[in-house]
């Protein structure tokens, strides 16, 4: 059994609640079914009671080569479902299956080629994906052993496999749990979500060869149906502007500490307040220029792997470590850029880095 406290979902409860309040009957039904499922798998926000779950398949014994297995849940909520495409097999013609296979490969390649990391646990962890999960399921999640993708309702959300950054986002939750185990609540939970957005958007940028200037800095840009007024689910460059729609409402993410949202919903606002560290990363990446994964991404990854990063880390504690790691890996220019990025979102780091 998977430890249910490891479930990390992409669509936040506040969006599902909004659909339940304002959607049509079919939309409300799909959102309610999704929200009830997510809540049933989140008994508490504490740290995992045991190490990273065992993968369904043995790890790859060839570093640099992904071990993928895509399963069809056949619109049920039983995992992993029927195996339909294993590593090295040809495309099936099912868009969800083939998109999941390709995106897991692209995500693995990013972590391996850019960061030198061999899958989720850095030991060749087998990448398992289940598609066609549930009926009209409006979410994607990582459950501690695998990634799971719904088909969406076809009115608000597309199938969740069509967005590379969403798949990379979910895989990155496993990396965060393997390295830092950031508690999924309050500021540490928002950092957990932000790190998944960071590595999700970097995977997309890497696959497109986009510089920090060229990139759209959107998370879930491919998910929204054309009739929804929005660019995506989150904007890292301008949190709070991703969507403004009669059904979904307005993107509530803050872009500065003075707008920090205090709430008991969503484990203390982990999907809302992640906008603050998201913008700090964007500002650092833009200031450093070039490809965001080469400097800013490296600094954030070094910080995720820093043994001084506590499970209940605050934004300020994480920010301080990014500045230190900028100095360790690069130099004064990078230190200044990272420090200034955090200052622009209201996190002033007083102590000088030695």
Contacts 24+ apart (CB under 8 A), 91-95: 94/131, 95/159, 95/161, 95/162
What pLDDT does 42 receive?
56
Query: Would you give per-residue pLDDT tens digits along the chain (354 residues)?
Result: 334 345 688 888 899 999 999 999 999 999 999 998 877 765 444 444 334 444 566 777 788 999 999 999 999 999 999 999 999 999 999 999 999 999 999 999 999 999 999 999 999 999 999 999 999 999 999 888 899 999 999 999 999 999 999 999 999 999 999 999 999 999 999 999 999 999 999 999 999 999 999 999 999 999 999 999 999 999 999 999 999 999 999 999 999 999 999 999 889 999 999 999 999 999 999 999 999 999 999 999 999 999 999 999 999 999 999 999 999 999 999 999 999 999 999 999 975 544
Distance CA 179, CA 301 (A): 10
Q: Cβ neighbours of residue 143 under 8 Å, at least 6 residues apart?
A: 2, 4, 6, 7, 41, 53, 79
What pLDDT does 273 receive?
98
Per the residue annotation, which of 138, 170, 179, 193 is the catalytic one? Answer: 170
What pLDDT does 59 receive?
72
63 contacts 55 by C-beta, under 8 angstroms: no
Q: Looking at the DSSP assignment, which residues form a beta bridge with residue 245?
A: 249
Q: Is 177 a catalytic residue?
A: no
Per the residue annotation, which of 37, 169, 173, 271 is the catalytic one? Answer: 271
What pLDDT does 46 receive?
45
What pLDDT does 188 receive?
97
What pLDDT does 51 receive?
40
- Domains (ranges, CATH) in the chain? 4-179 (3.10.170.10), 186-344 (1.10.390.10)
Q: Is 193 a catalytic residue?
A: no
pTM: 0.93
Nearest alpha carbon to residue 152 among 346, 15, 2, 272: 15
């Amino acid at each position: 059994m998977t430890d249910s406290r490891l479930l990390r979902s992409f669509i936040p409860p506040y969006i599902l609640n909004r659909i339940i309040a304002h959607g049509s009957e079919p939309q409300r039904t799909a959102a309610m079914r999704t929200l009830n499922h997510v809540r049933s798998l989140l008994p508490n926000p504490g740290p995992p009671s045991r190490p990273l779950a065992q993968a369904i398949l043995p790890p790859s014994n060839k570093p640099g080569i992904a071990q993928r297995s895509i399963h069809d849940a056949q619109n049920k909520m039983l995992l992993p479902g029927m195996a339909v495409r294993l590593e090295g097999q040809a495309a099936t013609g099912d868009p969800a299956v083939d998109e999941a296979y390709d995106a897991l490969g692209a995500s693995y390649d990013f972590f391996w080629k850019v960061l030198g990391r061999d899958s989720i646990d850095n030991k060749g962890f087998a990448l398992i994906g289940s598609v066609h999960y549930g009926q009209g399921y409006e979410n994607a999640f990582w459950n501690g052993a695998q990634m799971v993708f719904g088909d969406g309702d076809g009115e608000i959300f597309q199938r969740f496999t069509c967005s590379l950054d969403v798949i990379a986002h979910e895989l990155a939750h496993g990396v965060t749990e393997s390295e830092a185990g950031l508690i999924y609540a309050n500021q540490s939970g928002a950092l957990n979500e932000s790190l998944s957005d960071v590595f999700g958007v970097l995977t997309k940028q890497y696959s497109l060869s986009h510089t920090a200037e060229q990139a759209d800095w959107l998370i879930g840009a491919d998910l929204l149906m054309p009739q929804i007024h929005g660019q995506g689910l989150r904007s890292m460059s301008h949190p709070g502007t991703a969507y403004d729609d009669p059904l979904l409402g307005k993107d509530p993410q803050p872009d500065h500490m003075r707008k920090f949202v205090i709430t008991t919903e969503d484990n203390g606002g982990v999907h809302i307040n992640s906008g603050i560290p998201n913008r700090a990363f964007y500002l650092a990446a833009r200031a450093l220029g070039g490809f965001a994964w080469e400097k800013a991404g490296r600094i954030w990854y070094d910080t995720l792997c820093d043994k001084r990063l506590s499970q209940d880390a605050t934004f300020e504690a994480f920010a301080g470590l990014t500045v230190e790691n900028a100095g360790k890996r690069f130099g004064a220019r990078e230190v200044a850029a990272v420090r200034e990025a955090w200052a622009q979102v209201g996190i002033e780091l007083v102590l000088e880095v030695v």
